[in-house]
Amino acid sequence: MSAVAHDDAHHEQHPYWIKRWLFTTNHKDIGTLYLWLSLLMFFIGGIMALIVRTELFQPGLQFVDPQFFLSMTTMHALVMIFGVIMPGFVGLANWLIPMMIGAPDMALPRMNNWSFWILPFAFAMLLSTLFMDGGAPAAGWTMYAPLVLQTGAAFPFLVFSIHFMGLSSILGAINIIATILNMRAPGMTLMKMPLFVWTWLITAYLLIAVMPVLAGAVTMLLTDKYFGTSFFNAAGGGDPVLFQHVFWFFGHPEVYILILPSFGVISSIVPTFARKPLFGYASMVYATASIAFLSFIVWSHHMFTVGMPLAGLLFFMFATMLIAVPTGVKVFNWVATMWRGSLTFETPMLFAIAFIVLFTIGGFSGLMLAIVPADFQYQDTYFVVAHFHYVLVPGSIFALMAAVYYWLPKWTGHMYNERLGKWHFWLTTIFVNLTFFPMHFVGLAGMPRRIPDYALQFTEYNMIETIGAFGFGLSQLLFVYIVVQTIRGGEKATAQVWDGARGLEWTLPSPPPYHSFTTAPEVK
């Protein structure tokens, strides 16, 4: 790729600013849009979390009324799941998959534009409910019937925004599968693909399998409320517990949709900074596939307390625990990759190591929750909150941050400020633990979740959590500063960027040309 050809491509492909971003079909532009949306929603969802934490700083009701508090917990979850983590990883997929498999662009570029531009509408619709009569949805992101049917004017907006988010994810997933299966460079067999590509292939299959089920579930809620059906209405012979089954049939694979791409990111970063190939590549692929398969047969562990026969409880308990085996294989492989490697600790590696340690803590509390008699005790307490925040914040979010630091020099052509990056890492990691670790203790002691008030004995831990949450939130401003600074300039990055980096994306110049590989590279 000569510099001249590169410049020509720029001239041809960059119309006016608005036209470029609105009509773009370029995988890098769309990836960038996804990542900015994700960052914006991260702060919106973060402000909601801080409202929750402010109210919980002290027992009693201080700042917001309980209905609004519940709106905040509900919207925080919806925004963070559908607006931050999912678009964040789709952004990474857009940027990286074509470069990693030696393709010029995504397989279906126009559809790619659609799958992104649906999202701002979906979130405008969701966030507009904050200003509606009856307030934003407040029945929890799980939208359990019949409680969610009491939502006011916001209800149809909630349902349709979920439909749009689902549509966007399905289109994105189809595009990713088509790209990976049909666009690989000659010689790039499936078992030579980078793990990030593998984990995304499997995630995309999970998405097309379960997002339609969620769409069906919320459609049933809609017809129950407005068209007199009785799917979940006991008066008509329906059953509210059925909603929980349909929802969690989507919901459990969804949590792996949120985490599998992180496994891909960590599997890319650890070998680079250990300067060793990934330990156990094939076992990583099979472990990912096993986790995806198992995710379909464990959903009822979210609802152990609804009243299930012993056989059901035992089946779902053991199936859930079985997931620890492939997950353990992954953690073992990452540790084995670092073993006796020439380790250096640049910011992406720091985030990756923190991911391995802290995600594992979240995995362990998940195992505790899988034990039926223990779950009867933990159900709906802050222990559950601690568990899923450990797997999602120092899990998925840390992986996203690690990925940004790792590939930002490739994307922008500039090195980020390493000193500030390390500051960001340490502040984030300390505050994340300050926020979420004490939740284990108050949860075990019986503090229920989704309630704006609590018993006096939980005060100290809640104060610590609130301080941690504000520290975590403010530290992310540093992240924005570092990213903007890197985009604007800085030390020029080489094509390879990291001396231990392997893979096709590092053979392209930094920043890469507008169309990644116009002639397919040969993979040996």
Partner 1 sequence: MPELVNSHERKRLHARLIAKLGLVVVGMFGFGFAMVPLYDVFCDLTGLNGKTGRMAVQDVEAQEIDENRTVTVQFVANLNQSMHWEFQPADTELRVHPGRLYTTSFYARNKAGHDMIGRAIPSVAPGQAALHFKKTECFCFRRQAFEAGEGRDMPVRFMVDTKLPEGIETITLAYTFFDVTETAALQ
Applying CB under 8 A, does 228 fall inside the site for partner 1?
A: yes
Residue with tokens 């966030």: 127
Task: Count the site residues for partner 1 by CB under 8 A.
Answer: 43
Active site residue 76: yes
Out of 109, 212, 446, 509, the residue judged to bind partner 1 by CB under 8 A: 212
Applying CB under 8 A, does 335 fall inside the site for partner 1?
A: no
Active site residue 168: yes
Distance CA 182, CA 107 (A): 8
Active site residue 184: no
**In contact, 158 and 118? CB cutoff 8 Å:** no
User: Which residue lies nearer to partner 1 by CB, 169 or 396?
Assistant: 169
How distant, in Å, are the alpha carbons of 83, 265, 266, 440 from that of 167? Answer: 14, 25, 28, 36
Out of 1, 147, 308, 464, the residue judged to bind partner 1 by CB under 8 A: 308
Out of 77, 108, 143, 265, the residue judged to bind partner 1 by CB under 8 A: 108
Distance CA 428, CA 56 (A): 21
Applying CB under 8 A, does 245 fall inside the site for partner 1?
A: yes
Taking CB under 8 A as the binding criterion, the range among 212-220, 350-358, 367-375, 447-455 that sits at the site for partner 1 is 212-220
Applying CB under 8 A, does 307 fall inside the site for partner 1?
A: yes
Catalytic-role residue among 14, 245, 275, 449: 449
Active site residue 192: no
Question: CB of residue 149 vs partner 1: minimum separation in angstroms?
Answer: 12
Applying CB under 8 A, does 190 fall inside the site for partner 1?
A: no
Active site residue 252: yes
How distant, in Å, are the alpha carbons of 76, 281, 333, 414 from that of 195? Answer: 31, 8, 13, 25
**Cα–Cα–Cα angle for 414, 80, 232, nearest 5°?**
155
Give kind and range of the element (H or E) at residue 403.
helix 398-412
User: Which residue lies nearer to partner 1 by CB, 216 or 341?
Assistant: 216
User: Which residue lies nearer to partner 1 by CB, 28 or 163?
Assistant: 163
Active site residue 450: no
Applying CB under 8 A, does 217 fall inside the site for partner 1?
A: yes
Distance CA 291, CA 297 (A): 10
How distant, in Å, are the alpha carbons of 9, 11, 192, 218 from that of 513? Answer: 8, 12, 24, 42
Taking CB under 8 A as the binding criterion, the range among 204-212, 413-421, 440-448, 495-503 that sits at the site for partner 1 is 204-212
Reference 107, options 174, 36, 186; nearest CA is 174
Taking CB under 8 A as the binding criterion, the range among 67-75, 89-97, 224-232, 356-364 that sits at the site for partner 1 is 224-232
User: Which residue lies nearer to partner 1 by CB, 92 or 177?
Assistant: 177
Out of 39, 51, 183, 501, the residue judged to bind partner 1 by CB under 8 A: 183
Beta bridge partners of 381: 448
Question: CB of residue 180 vs partner 1: minimum separation in angstroms?
Answer: 10
Distance CA 431, CA 439 (A): 13
Task: Respond yes or no on whether the N-terminal peptide bond of residue 98 is cis (omega within 30° of 0).
Answer: no
**In contact, 28 and 95? CB cutoff 8 Å:** yes
Applying CB under 8 A, does 187 fall inside the site for partner 1?
A: yes
Give burial (CB, 10 Å; 0-12/13-18/19+) of 160.
Answer: middle
Question: CB of residue 209 vs partner 1: minimum separation in angstroms?
Answer: 5
Out of 130, 213, 367, 508, the residue judged to bind partner 1 by CB under 8 A: 213
414: three-class secondary structure by DSSP:
strand
Beta bridge partners of 99: none
Task: Respond yes or no on whether the N-terminal peptide bond of residue 146 is cis (omega within 30° of 0).
Answer: yes
User: Which residue lies nearer to partner 1 by CB, 15 or 186?
Assistant: 186
Give kind and range of the element (H or E) at residue 385.
helix 382-391
Applying CB under 8 A, does 242 fall inside the site for partner 1?
A: yes
Q: Which residues bind partner 1 (CB under 8 A)?
A: 107-108, 170, 173-174, 177-178, 181-184, 186-187, 208-217, 220, 227-228, 230-231, 233-237, 239, 241-242, 245-246, 249-250, 307-309
Catalytic site positions: 76, 105, 141, 168-169, 252, 254, 256, 267, 301-302, 327, 330, 449
